[in-house]
Structure 1
Amino acid sequence: MSFSGVDGRSQRDAALDQPRLGDEPTADGPNVRTDGPQDGPKPDGPKPDTGAPPTPDEGTLPPPDQGIPPTPDQGKPTAGHYFPAGSIWTKDVSSAPLQSNSSAIINWLANAGGWGTGQMRIDFSIEVLRAKAGTPFRAFTPTGDHYSPDCDTDKVPIVAGGAIEGESGYECVSDGDCHLIVVHEPTHKLYEMWRANISGGTFYGGCLAVWDLTKVYPLDGRGEGCTSADAAGYPIAPLLFTADEVKAGTINHAIRFILPNSRIRNMAYVHPATHSTSAASGGANSLPYGARLRLKASFDISKLSAGAQVVAKAMKTYGMFLADGGSIALTAQSDRFTTAKWSGLLGSHDLSSLKITDFEVVKYESSIVNYSFNCVRN
């Protein structure tokens, strides 16, 4: 996210075929408010104290707090999925009808430049942590990037030795998106926070969205008009593909993708998105948040690398959802905490031959909703 004129993600050039961050400031992030600051420095969240050396793994050993007991299972996620069967994220759309103006949208996007940076690239920076029974929970101090009633205030499980997006630990040194994503396995809950920062012993947090992984959410997710840790208002982790999935040869869910703000429809979304931003400035033929693209069945994937073919097959079967504004089109999960590793499996440019014209727009899951800054939680 960024307030108007303020970059919300600090990304760096990705070396050719190396799983790293992106190439320029990219994201508008989860929320853009007209009733908050519009210019100037990022709100709240103090910068790290550079007057003293950082302590090792700062924030990874929080004081114990076991005040959140496990809840009875209501319906566990199916194998390889975050949510139970019937979730929108695992819907097979290989034969789904197209949006009536699919061709017009694709042509407009192609004329506007297609993907950010002009080619499809992959960002490998987002971490997903797994918390076990006994993992301590910590309360956080909300920053100006936390909104009510959109964002949750629950205590968050902090895994020892874990890290936030783009960092080696829990301190948001780079001043980027710094997503903190944790699956609490005993309670089947997914905690996703934007702009997390544990610095000087204090846990600062932007928007937190807590998802019940035993639940099949309605198309309006956590609530109409509500943001999450991502601009579109839906979860991040279920749309990330992993090195373990690619090595196994199967991705059985939709994929998260990003477009520059100028190519995203202004102040509008379709379900399963529940949120849009004023930073998005596209017109009627641009894509709204929540739109799903599908790789054409006729696209020949045989010339792609083996790993890229796995991703391309998922794009043909499940498609990919527009989730955020920025330059790097695709987001994969970091391999820091996975068994398989990206090196030799998939590189940041391995899907660069896929053009926007190789895709089509799947029929929207709802009519277009005009975003009004009014979150009504479910």
Structure 2
Amino acid sequence: MNAMRLRALLLASLLALGAFAQAPARGGALPPPLPLFPLDNWWNADITHAPVDPNSAAFITYLGAGRGMHPDFGGDSGDPSAPIYGMPYVIVASSQPLVPVTFDYDDESDYAAPGRTPGYPIPNEAKSQQRWIEGGLAGGDADADGDRHMLIVDRDLRILYELYALHWTGSRWEAGSGAIFPLDSNARRPDGWTSADAAGLAILPGLIRYDEVYGPDPIRHAFRVTVRHTNGYVFPASHRAGNTSGALPMGARLRLKASVDLSRFPEPMRKIFQAMKTYGLLVADNGTDLYVTGTYDTRWDNDVLNPAFGAIKGSDFEVVQLGWQPSRSDNRRRSVRH
């Protein structure tokens, strides 16, 4: 092989590698540092010593003391056309083109990231391919229903884009709402504003992810949980989606009691449940009581997840003081990021 041809092959290989590196990826490792958002963000706050709310027992009774927790995530059912279980997420490069989105809740949605032109980096593949959007159906599927969230991370600029009820009409993207979160900021959404979630919170930082459950490090963030009814909102939430008397507000925190024995569970499940003791669950949406959200990942084994989660009951939790915020001294104790 002559030198000119060798150089041409090397150049072609480098160009192919560059294109591959820039291609959108479904799932996988999130860009460091982790956890997402600053260490003093509400998703990453250590609630071990936070006070119990005076109405904790009544809230737990409302949820159901004997109700089992459930993992609202998993892998494929074996049927390639069936809805998927769990939240997919997408990682893109900063070179991913930004495309316009039309919103139903346009007065509470973000149209552009700070300092960027308007638009969301939605991959073209999401128009016609499955498993880019929650529920598994492609953006252009006319009969698709459900929440249809899409979560996108710009790994270079560290920006999180989240969309709710996303559809491709054939000529444009439409969504119920959209929210954009710079990952190095603790900026909270304006009071009264929704996000891609009913509570006005980001979704991705509260998901249980396969890579962290089966990785070497502890999980260092709270998890997203749903309840059937809510009553207003408290910090860190910014939006209400119900006013049912006796129900928890959006933004309420549930903490797995320190007395709950975790030794009976497999090590990966112990890691999840320990995070519930240290960081807790944040009420983020109306749904089914004690359904905890995680990522869509074909590696999940629901024969492991379901019995372990179901063994944890409502009575194993307590409600942290509503609206609680960590003190500066609490934040200074935590200094490890990866």
TM-score (ref. length: structure 2): 0.74
> What is the SS of the residue equivalent to 1:347?
helix
Question: Which runs of structure 2 are paired with 1:200-239 in the superposition (5 Å)?
Answer: 200-217=170-187, 221-239=188-206
Residue 12 of structure 2 is matched in structure 1 by none
Q: CA RMSD in A?
A: 2.2
* Alignment CA distance shift 1:176-1:309 (3 Å): same
Cα offsets for 1:274-300 (capped at 9, x unmatched): 1112xx3531x3211110000000001
Match of 2:71 in 1: 122
* Alpha-carbon shift at residue 355 of structure 1 (Å): 0.9
Structure 2 residue corresponding to 1:107, chosen from 61, 65, 78: 61
Written as runs of structure 1 = structure 2, the 5 A alignment for 1:101-180 is 101-110=55-64, 118-124=67-73, 125-142=86-103, 144=104, 146-148=105-107, 150-154=108-112, 155-159=119-123, 161=125, 163-171=132-140, 173-180=143-150
Query: Quick one: which amino acid aligns to residue 215 of structure 1?
Result: S
Q: What residue ranges of structure 1 are gaps of 5+ in the alignment? A: 1-76, 368-378
What CA distance in whole angstroms lies between the structure 1 residues aligned with 2:266 and 2:286? 27
Q: Which residue in the other structure is 2:33 paired with?
A: 79
Aligned pair count reads 269
Residue among 259, 262, 265 paired with 2:227: 259
Indicate how the Cα distance of structure 1 residues 304 and 366 shifts in structure 2: closer, same or farther if over 3 A, else same: closer
CA distance in 2, matches of 1:186, 1:318: 28
**Partners of 1:97 and 1:362 within 8 A in 2:** yes
Shift of residue 203 of structure 1? 1.3
Q: Could you tell me which residue of structure 2 aligns to residue 362 of structure 1?
A: 320
- Residue 85 of structure 1: CA displacement? 2.2
| More moved, 193-202 vs 358-367 | 358-367
Q: CA deviation at 1:364?
A: 2.1
- Do the aligned partners of residues 206 and 108 (structure 1) sit closer, same or farther apart at CA in structure 2, a change above 3 Å counting? closer
Q: Relative to structure 1, is the Cα distance of residues 208 and 98 closer, same or farther in structure 2, using a 3 angstrom cutoff?
A: same
Once the two structures are superposed, residues 79-120 of structure 1 have per-residue CA deviations (whole angstroms, 9 ceiling, x without a partner) of 321112211111111121111221232233327xx6xxx431
Shift of 1:257: 0.2
Give % identity.
34
Return the alpha-carbon distance in structure 2 between the equivalents of residues 102 and 349 of structure 1. Answer: 26
Q: What residue identity is the alignment partner of 1:335?
A: D
CA distance in 2 between partners of 1:305 and 1:238 (Å): 24
| Residues 43 and 205 in structure 2, CA contact (< 8 A), matched pair in contact too | yes
C-alpha distance in structure 2 between counterparts of 1:363 and 1:84, whole Å: 22
In the TM superposition, 1:324-343 aligns within 5 A as 324-327=285-288, 329-335=291-297, 341-343=299-301
Q: Output the amino acid matched with 1:354.
A: I
1:318 maps to which residue? Answer: 279
Read off the aligned partner of 1:214 and give its amino acid letter. Answer: D
- 1:156 partner SS: coil
Matched residue of 2:249: which SS? strand
**Contact 1:247 1:345 survives alignment (8 Å):** no
Counterpart mapping for 1:292-311 below 5 A: 292-311=253-272
Partners of 1:187 and 1:346 in 2: CA distance: 36
Tell whether the 8 Å contact from 2:63 to 2:227 is kept in structure 1 after alignment: no
CA contact under 8 A between 2:50 and 2:324: conserved in structure 1? no
Contact 2:140 2:170 in 1 (8 A): no
Give per-residue Cα distances to partners, 1:320-366, cap 9 Å, x unaligned: 10000112611101126xxxx21379434430011111000111225
1:256–1:331 Cα contact (<8 Å) kept: yes
Query: How far apart in 2 are the matches of 1:232 and 1:314?
Result: 21
**Residue 63 of structure 1: aligned partner:** none
Task: After TM superposition, give the deviation of residue 122 of structure 1 in Å.
Answer: 1.3
Tell me, yes or no, if the aligned pair for 1:179 and 1:195 is still in contact at 8 Å.
Answer: yes
Structure exhibiting the larger radius of gyration computed from Cα positions: 2
